């Protein structure tokens, strides 16, 4: 681990059959679709090799062999070609080819689509899992690392791996057909297949492990490029303002050069494979050619069958070469599946993160206290200590606090004092070391995560909007009527602005991160979203930091009216924000150092800051 960011994991060793079985089992309906796909692949290769067999019989017809002799399946075919005109023979072969082409296209479409469906299924599972991981996962893993799993790795899973799997099964089926046809026509020619297969297996055994490890290394070296790129795009204004463009450019070039070493090594290894496969396949073709010439000269084979065997040797050359290459490349490409499966098995947020309830204050559950009243809720911190994750220092230290129901509480303190960390503890985003949190006497740490978080609505300091309509950003679950949405917009003084957009109204399109709205407007939309949640506890992290003073005053009045009867907790950076609160809390270094009415706390805090005593 480097700093707070975790190093990207890199697997080692071969990928066993259990790994491939996990890929196949991830596809739905594999139990009954598997035999269907196998039948299609075998039938497709029958048509491809059957055409060459038909051409060999057409060339010979009954010229060198009596139509009453030979294998039973050849007799009617030879008689057909001997009796019909060349035009009809050509027409029959043409229809055979057209049917074979259509069947091949159908087979490729069905097989590839089914295998790609498995990739999409894994993608959905990973997305679902990522939405339930602890929040610290996104602190430990750069955005570029996560983006790469859903771009390059997912593209391989969706396109490359299905193609390679299709190629492998197709090549195996074609080799089986070729072997049967050669054994059927000239059994002695099969003897040349064994040494060729041994050479291919030896080349493959040397290439696959090295190629797999180089591909893993390339993936590890590629993700930092995307991380720096996404950071540079998001922070380009800051980078230019501080004149750091050259540093970021040099960093990106350094990362690209590191990745290029692995990428070029992979290319050179592929070229090494192709040269040796080509040499081996040419030697195999030479052996089969010499055997066919000898058989033709001694009268053992006719010209048509001899040509047929020659075409099979040429086809087998390419097939075995492509099979070896596909086996090698799928091992390399399966690294992408390995990385996808890693994110499929990430740890999930549980009922309780860290700590032990035996260390906490015992809070019995009862029907009267299990569900807090919707009009407000009392919150108690029972000697709560928590850290961001295991191995890091404690950020909340023995916080003992009671927040009365339906009260308005302000939290003040210097940067890093633990104000926002207190909110994270309520949302159960921290590793609880000891202590407990209760809401209306019911332990928050024992509730289901979704139930616990539904008790709170929040207005964050940095507004977060999603690409989509205004309606979608206000009411993502579709719970509220259009009238209720407009009432929320009117409460935050945004209704007139969106009504002026014409027919769009609530269907006004918001671009990614709310780029077509001002920062203040984005903050007000977040405020309206909190109003619509109607949760008993409202958390506000300096909600008016991005609006002007007039709008700030209007919102403060709206808060008093709209959140009347709710428990409101406000983190304040302006002292004016907490002057009319019922209770003010002072945080310092993760501890609650003072609490009381604003008239007594604010003057003491201001004098303490000037003297430095409140910073200890």
> pLDDT (tens digit, 9 = 90+) per residue, 514-549?
788 887 788 888 888 888 888 889 898 877 666 667
Average pLDDT over residues 267-284: 80
Element (H, E) at 264: helix 245-297
User: pLDDT for 234-255, tens place per residue?
Assistant: 788 888 888 888 888 888 899 8
Which of 443-447, 462-466, 549-553 has the weakest average pLDDT? 549-553
Average pLDDT over residues 322-340: 76
- Is 279:199 a contact under the CB 8 Å cutoff? no
- Shortest CA distance to 315 belongs to which of 179, 163, 169, 185? 179
Q: Compute how many other C-beta atoms are within 10 angstroms of the C-beta atom of residue 551.
A: 16
pLDDT at 90 (0 to 100): 81
Average pLDDT over residues 5-31: 65
Confidence of residue 615 (pLDDT cuts 50, 70, 90): very low
pLDDT above 80 (res 447): yes
User: pLDDT for 592-608, tens place per residue?
Assistant: 888 888 888 877 766 66
Q: SS3 of 97, please? A: helix
- Is 567:379 a contact under the CB 8 Å cutoff? yes
Confidence of residue 507 (pLDDT cuts 50, 70, 90): confident
The segment with the largest mean pLDDT, out of 28-32, 274-278, 310-314, is: 274-278
Confidence of residue 173 (pLDDT cuts 50, 70, 90): confident
Residue 101 region by backbone torsions, left for phi larger than 0, else alpha for psi between -120 and 50, else beta: alpha
pLDDT at 70 (0 to 100): 55
pLDDT at 351 (0 to 100): 44
> pTM of the predicted model, to two decimals?
0.62
Q: Kindly state the percentage of the chain with pLDDT values over 90.
A: 0
pLDDT at 365 (0 to 100): 42
pLDDT above 70 (res 68): no
Cα separation of 475 and 479, whole Å?
7
Confidence of residue 2 (pLDDT cuts 50, 70, 90): very low
pLDDT at 616 (0 to 100): 38
pLDDT above 70 (res 440): yes
Cα separation of 577 and 523, whole Å?
16
Confidence of residue 366 (pLDDT cuts 50, 70, 90): very low
Which of 1-15, 220-234, 261-275, 496-510 has the weakest average pLDDT? 1-15
Cα separation of 342 and 207, whole Å?
25
Which of 373-382, 387-396, 544-553 has the weakest average pLDDT? 544-553
Q: Kindly state the percentage of the chain with pLDDT values over 70.
A: 81
Average pLDDT over residues 37-64: 73
Confidence of residue 373 (pLDDT cuts 50, 70, 90): very low
Q: How many helices (H) and strands (E) does the chain have?
A: 20, 12
- Shortest CA distance to 14 belongs to which of 338, 271, 269? 338
- Shortest CA distance to 506 belongs to which of 534, 544, 478? 478
Average pLDDT over residues 155-173: 81
Q: Which domains does the chain have, with CATH numbers?
A: 19-344 (1.20.1560.10), 375-615 (3.40.50.300)
Strands 379-387 and 394-403: antiparallel
Q: Over the chain, what is the mean pLDDT? A: 77
- Shortest CA distance to 483 belongs to which of 505, 463, 466, 454? 505
- Shortest CA distance to 71 belongs to which of 187, 189, 174? 187
pLDDT above 60 (res 9): no
pLDDT at 518 (0 to 100): 82
pLDDT at 200 (0 to 100): 77
- Is 541:461 a contact under the CB 8 Å cutoff? yes
| Residue in this structure with the two tokens 């299990």, named with its chain if needed | 370
* Residues 6+ away with beta carbon under 8 Å from 209: 14
pLDDT above 50 (res 181): yes
pLDDT above 50 (res 359): no
pLDDT above 80 (res 470): yes
């Amino acid at each position: 681990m480097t700093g707070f960011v975790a190093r990207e994991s890199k697997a080692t060793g071969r990928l066993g059959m259990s790994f491939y079985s996990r890929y196949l089992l991830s596809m739905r309906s594999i139990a009954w679709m598997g035999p269907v796909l196998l039948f299609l692949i075998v039938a497709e290769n029958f048509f491809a090799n059957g055409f060459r067999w038909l051409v060999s019989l057409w060339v010979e017809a009954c010229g060198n062999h009596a139509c009453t002799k030979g294998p039973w399946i050849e007799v009617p075919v030879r008689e057909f070609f001997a009796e019909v005109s060349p035009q009809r023979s050509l027409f029959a072969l043409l229809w055979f080819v057209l049917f074979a082409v259509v069947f091949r296209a159908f087979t490729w479409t069905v097989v590839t689509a089914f295998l790609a469906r498995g990739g999409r299924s894994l993608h959905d599972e990973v997305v679902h899992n990522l939405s339930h991981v602890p929040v610290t996962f996104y602190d430990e893993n750069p955005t570029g690392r996560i983006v790469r799993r859903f771009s390059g790795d997912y593209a391989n899973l969706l396109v490359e791996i299905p193609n390679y799997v299709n190629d492998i099964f197709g090549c195996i089926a074609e080799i089986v057909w070729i072997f049967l046809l050669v054994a059927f026509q000239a059994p002695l020619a099969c003897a040349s297949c064994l040494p060729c297969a041994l050479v291919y297996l030896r080349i493959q055994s040397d290439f696959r492990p090295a190629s797999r490890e180089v591909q893993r290394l390339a993936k590890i070296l590629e993700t930092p490029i995307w991380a720096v790129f996404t950071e540079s795009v998001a922070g380009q204004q800051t980078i230019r303002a501080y004149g750091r463009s050259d540093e970021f450019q040099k960093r990106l070039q350094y990362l690209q050069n590191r990745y290029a070493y692995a990428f070029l090594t992979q290319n050179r290894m592929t070229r090494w494979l192709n040269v040796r496969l080509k040499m081996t396949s040419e030697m195999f073709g030479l052996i089969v050619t010499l055997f066919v010439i000898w058989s033709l000269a001694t009268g053992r084979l006719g010209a048509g069958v001899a040509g047929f065997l020659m075409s099979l040797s040429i086809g087998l050359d390419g097939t075995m070469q492509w099979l070896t290459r596909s086996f090698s490349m799928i091992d390399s490409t399966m690294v992408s599946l390995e990385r996808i499966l890693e994110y499929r098995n990430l740890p999930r947020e549980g009922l309780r993160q860290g700590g032990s309830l035996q260390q906490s204050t015992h809070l019995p559950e009862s029907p009267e206290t299990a569900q807090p009243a919707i009009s407000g809720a009392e919150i108690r911190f029972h000697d709560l200590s928590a850290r961001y994750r295991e191995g890091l220092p404690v950020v909340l230290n023995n916080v003992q606090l009671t927040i009365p129901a339906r009260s308005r509480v302000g939290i003040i303190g210097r940067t890093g004092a633990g104000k926002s960390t207190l909110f994270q503890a309520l949302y159960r985003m921290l590793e609880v070391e000891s202590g407990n949190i209760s809401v209306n006497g019911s332990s928050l740490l024992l509730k289901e995560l979704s139930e616990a978080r539904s008790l709170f609505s929040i207005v964050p300091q940095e507004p977060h909007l999603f690409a989509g309509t205004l309606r979608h950003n206000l009411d993502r679950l579709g719970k509220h009527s259009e009238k209720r949405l407009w009432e929320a917009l009117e409460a935050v003084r945004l209704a007139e602005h969106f009504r002026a957009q014409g027919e769009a109204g609530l269907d006004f399109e918001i671009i990614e991160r709310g780029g077509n709205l001002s920062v203040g407007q984005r903050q007000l939309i977040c405020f309206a979203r909190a109003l619509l949640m109607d949760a008993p506890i409202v958390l506000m992290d300096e909600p008016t930091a991005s609006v002007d003073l007039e709008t700030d005053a209007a919102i403060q009045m709206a808060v008093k009216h709209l959140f009347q009867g709710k428990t409101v907790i406000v983190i304040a950076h302006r002292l004016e924000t907490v002057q009319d609160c019922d209770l003010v809390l002072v945080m310092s270094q993760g501890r609650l150092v003072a609490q009381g009415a604003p008239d007594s706390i604010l003057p003491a805090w201001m004098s303490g800051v000037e003297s430095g005593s409140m910073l200890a």
